[in-house]
Structure 1
Amino acid sequence: MNDITVTSECPELAEPYLRQVLDTAGLAVEYVRAERNTLYRRGADGEEIPVSDFAGGYGSVLLGHNHPEIVTRARELLTAQTPVHAQFSRHPYANHLAAALNRVIHRELGTDEPYFAIFGNSGAEAVEAAVKHAELDRGMRISALLEEADGRLTAARSAVADGATVPAEVCARLGVPATEGFASVEREIRRRNEKSAASPPLFLALEGGFHGKLVGSVQLTHNEGYRLPFKSLAAQARFVPNGDADHLRKIHAAERRTLLAADVVDGRITVTERELPVFCAFLVEPVQGEGGVHPLTAAFAGEIQRFCADIDCPVIVDEIQSGMGRTGALLASSRVGLRGDYYTLAKTLGGGIAKTSVMLVREARYRKEFEIVHSSTFAKDSFSCHIALTVLDLLERDGGRAYRRAEERGEALRAVLDSVHADFPDVVKEVRGRGLMLGLEFHDRSGASSAELRELAGSGLFGYFLAGHLLRRHRVRTFPTASAVNTLRFEPSLQVSDAELEQLRAGLREVCALLRKEAVAELLPSGD
């Protein structure tokens, strides 16, 4: 048998460049244990060093690391040898989870319309499933429209045979010779309809949005660094500035397509237009995570809802970071009056242990055919479904005590960030977010008098160096948002204590003081 012993001298093969980047910022730390809102690393003498976790698994551990009830449930399931690989069989636990999610969603939306569940393993996979389902639905709607147009052409042809006339203006509008009569009209209508129907789907998404890095979802992510290298692989998106309803209407005017139909009115052939569903879906985060923690306003949520209803474009609400109680409700979007045709949930759904996600589709949009053409090896398994049911129970227990806790802890965290902003307005630009999903944006330092600070500001790693200093000097773990590196994110668990909040306050105040003094050397790993 081969010796598979691994030593510390083995070469770095697991994403070595990322390791190098983390090293540069002082963030390449191995954590050896986790509980509540704390991660532990090893010190030089082997002792455990606690680190207050304000990154929270990018929103995955709202209930805390290794929550005792979730761990107990996981042990019970594994001890009972619960099946993980039992695909293509009956999964009652998945149905129980879907029903439990529906009960909460119905309460928050004030509706009784069912949402059907398609399970996955990650947030990006849930987005991919939503996009695939929306495109299946779009294709089926286009087929129905073409069939209807074909039927109306057949009826019009029969009417012409019975004496209906083809006005010259109809031929002129279509650019066909009047001498050929209805035959040229029919031929041109079919040609145009086939061309319009073959138009590739377009997606709408917000500037600053992040929906994953898989083949489809990366094209819906606004950050060009992630998207453009793969632009030829998937359908394209049109990005809308957050809050700009006029831009929405301009995009629609530029991209809309129609199908033509022939009708008979008073013995004369007329040609009418029907809107073709070019836009497959509009993807929205109620609170943008990677884009800098920008909340969606109720006013713009209403504009999106009305616009999409007018053109029959489904709304996919991406609740992967903001959902599952982080903002004080299961759905952050319910707080701003946005109702989705689709919802994607992940991260906290797995309780910080199971890797699971779900895509929910409302009954009015659901296509049963999707269940045959889409599948996922690990999805809908007993382990992850039972863990997710435990998570929902913890959120809903005692009349939703966890939601109230998220709001209360969020207000306490906001007070800390606001106090830092108030004392350092020349350093901190803004505090944004909702509940336990907050961001603190620093002013751009590219115009600083210090050449070292200008270089740091232009490195693309500004926020990572600040996070590295907080980790090394103050034992506080956070990260910048991926597409807005001047913004630090704060997504701790419900377990975050007042002492940890004060620890964060002290750390941020020192960072701000160093930036004010332009003391770059003290912010870098070599300065500690």
Structure 2
Amino acid sequence: MTSAPLSSPAAPEASRAPEFLRLAEEHSAHNYHPLPVVIAEAEGSWMTDVDGRRYLDFLAGYSALNFGHRHPALIAAATEQLHRVTLTSRAFQHDRFGPFCAELAALTGTEQVLPMNSGAEAVESAIKLARKWAYQVKGVPTDQAEIVVAGSNFHGRTTTIVSFSTDSTARAGFGPFTPGFAITPYGDAAAVEAAITERTAAVLVEPVQGEAGVVVPPAGYLRRLRELCDERGVLLVADEIQSGLARTGDLLALDHEGVRADLYTLGKALGGGVLPVSAVVGGRDVLGVLRPGEHGSTFGGNPLACAVGLAVVRLLATGEFQRRSRELGAHLHARLGELVGRGVSEVRGRGLWAGVELTPGGPTGREISERLAARGVLCKETQDSTLRLAPPLTISRDELDRGLDTIADVLTGS
């Protein structure tokens, strides 16, 4: 069946988009290659551009919008806090900080929380914590700590993080790079075992690799990493910035394997799509190595961030969004599976998160993304040949099917 566009423009005399696109092209650094859509409003699973055309959001801000656009509980929390206090710096305590840390620790089954802002800051913080722990607790000689990572990873774009990236685009032109990392193939536990030495502080891994194309590792890989870390006295650090907070159908993606990490990095959905909020969570035995003055952030853990983050934690504590991700995710993957052999070579992922690998020789991911945008569905390619789909966890079954109908039509040329 060929679907009509999900919505039609409001038919203004002339589109307003070109002027906004011109300003962005001329005056912003070209660090992204966005689709030529200019969004002006959004609510729930829908976004509206400057010309009044509505689009279904099938990307959800790379999982930052797990609760949809402008979730009432999150907007209420932000609005209420905006009328009270937004920033104290960490020079003083405020009345949202303790409750946020306590409830996030309880939700994740950890003991302590280190609030930061961006996901990359959380990963940088986890690296510093792992190194500090290695020197102070494990006894690794000063400045010799190593961290084992996985190839095809994406943990952020700071200089240290791109130092252990295998993406040439992320690295080219940004050296010299930070030493102290050993790269192993994702999914290869034997390679990790061989890479661990007496100087190893941690193994850092994404339980599902998002930027690589929503890649789920082989069964047993994550459990074996936990065993190796226990056997060799090494920390397991899980980057759950994209995969965590209900995206995969459990609170944390590691939960699917029954595995616990020593440290988790959280972000994106922790700010509910309202503002940047991230955190490192874990046990006192690791987070406790920090002392005043050794690490910090002016905005990390600010009152506004904590108010929104606390509202996010309370939404997740109900289990509703984990359930929705499991149930709607099963439907998503079943329907996408029907497209294998019809413009699609493989579908990967967990929960309401999928990497749709396009058939070699056909349209690129960028071309398909542009065709979908013209039909009223917004998603984005990754690695040129993969569509990354991550609708809000609040999406209805009807909205999900409407978007999937359009995706099927575009991929099959209907």
The TM-score with structure 2 as length reference comes to 0.88
Q: Distance in 2 between matches of 1:91 and 1:485?
A: 45
Counterpart of 2:228 in structure 1 is 307
Counterpart of 1:403 in structure 2 is 322
Q: How does 1:187-198 map to 2 (within 5 A)?
A: 197=141
Please report how far the alpha carbon of residue 92 of structure 1 lies from its aligned counterpart in structure 2 after TM superposition.
4.3
Query: Does residue 119 of structure 1 match 2:107?
Result: no
Counterpart of 2:133 in structure 1 is 137
Please report how far the alpha carbon of residue 84 of structure 1 lies from its aligned counterpart in structure 2 after TM superposition.
1.1
Gaps of 5+ in 1: 1-6, 107-113, 146-196, 257-275, 446-452, 457-461, 517-528
1:301–1:337 CA contact under 8 A, matched in 2: no
Please report how far the alpha carbon of residue 99 of structure 1 lies from its aligned counterpart in structure 2 after TM superposition.
1.4
Counterpart of 1:97 in structure 2 is 100
- Secondary structure of the structure 2 residue equivalent to 1:485: coil
**Distance change in 2, residues 1:364/1:70 (3 Å):** same
**Distance change in 2, residues 1:371/1:244 (3 Å):** same
- Secondary structure of the structure 1 residue equivalent to 2:203: strand
**Distance change in 2, residues 1:224/1:238 (3 Å):** farther
Counterpart pick for 1:76 among 77, 80, 83: 80
Counterpart pick for 1:226 among 170, 181, 184: 170
Please report how far the alpha carbon of residue 433 of structure 1 lies from its aligned counterpart in structure 2 after TM superposition.
0.8
Please report how far the alpha carbon of residue 435 of structure 1 lies from its aligned counterpart in structure 2 after TM superposition.
0.7
**Distance change in 2, residues 1:295/1:333 (3 Å):** same
- Secondary structure of the structure 2 residue equivalent to 1:365: helix
Please report how far the alpha carbon of residue 476 of structure 1 lies from its aligned counterpart in structure 2 after TM superposition.
0.4
Q: Distance in 2 between matches of 1:11 and 1:437?
A: 30
The TM-score with structure 1 as length reference comes to 0.70
2:189–2:224 CA contact under 8 A, matched in 1: yes
Q: Distance in 2 between matches of 1:103 and 1:10?
A: 46
Counterpart of 1:41 in structure 2 is 49
**Distance change in 2, residues 1:388/1:10 (3 Å):** closer
**Distance change in 2, residues 1:54/1:198 (3 Å):** same
2:115–2:277 CA contact under 8 A, matched in 1: yes
Code of the aligned partner of 1:429: S
2:89–2:299 CA contact under 8 A, matched in 1: no
2:345–2:357 CA contact under 8 A, matched in 1: yes
Please report how far the alpha carbon of residue 201 of structure 1 lies from its aligned counterpart in structure 2 after TM superposition.
3.2
Q: How does 1:319-468 map to 2 (within 5 A)?
A: 319-397=240-318, 400-421=319-340, 425=341, 427-445=343-361, 462-468=364-370
Code of the aligned partner of 1:70: L
Counterpart of 1:149 in structure 2 is none
- Secondary structure of the structure 1 residue equivalent to 2:332: helix
**Distance change in 2, residues 1:344/1:14 (3 Å):** farther
1:91–1:380 CA contact under 8 A, matched in 2: no
Q: Distance in 2 between matches of 1:10 and 1:443?
A: 36
CA deviations 1:170-220 (Å, max 9, x no partner) are xxxxxxxxxxxxxxxxxxxxxxxxxxx366433211222210001222223
Counterpart of 2:376 in structure 1 is 475
Q: Distance in 2 between matches of 1:331 and 1:63?
A: 16
Identity of aligned residues (%): 30
Query: Does residue 498 of structure 1 match 2:400?
Result: no
Report the structure, 1 or 2, having the larger helix content. Answer: 1
Code of the aligned partner of 1:496: I
1:298–1:337 CA contact under 8 A, matched in 2: no
Q: Distance in 2 between matches of 1:10 and 1:40?
A: 19
Please report how far the alpha carbon of residue 66 of structure 1 lies from its aligned counterpart in structure 2 after TM superposition.
0.3
Please report how far the alpha carbon of residue 227 of structure 1 lies from its aligned counterpart in structure 2 after TM superposition.
2.9
State the structure with more CA Rg.
1
Code of the aligned partner of 2:371: H
Counterpart of 1:486 in structure 2 is 385
Code of the aligned partner of 2:134: R
Please report how far the alpha carbon of residue 230 of structure 1 lies from its aligned counterpart in structure 2 after TM superposition.
3.2
Q: Distance in 2 between matches of 1:373 and 1:198?
A: 16
Q: Distance in 1 between matches of 2:102 and 2:170?
A: 36
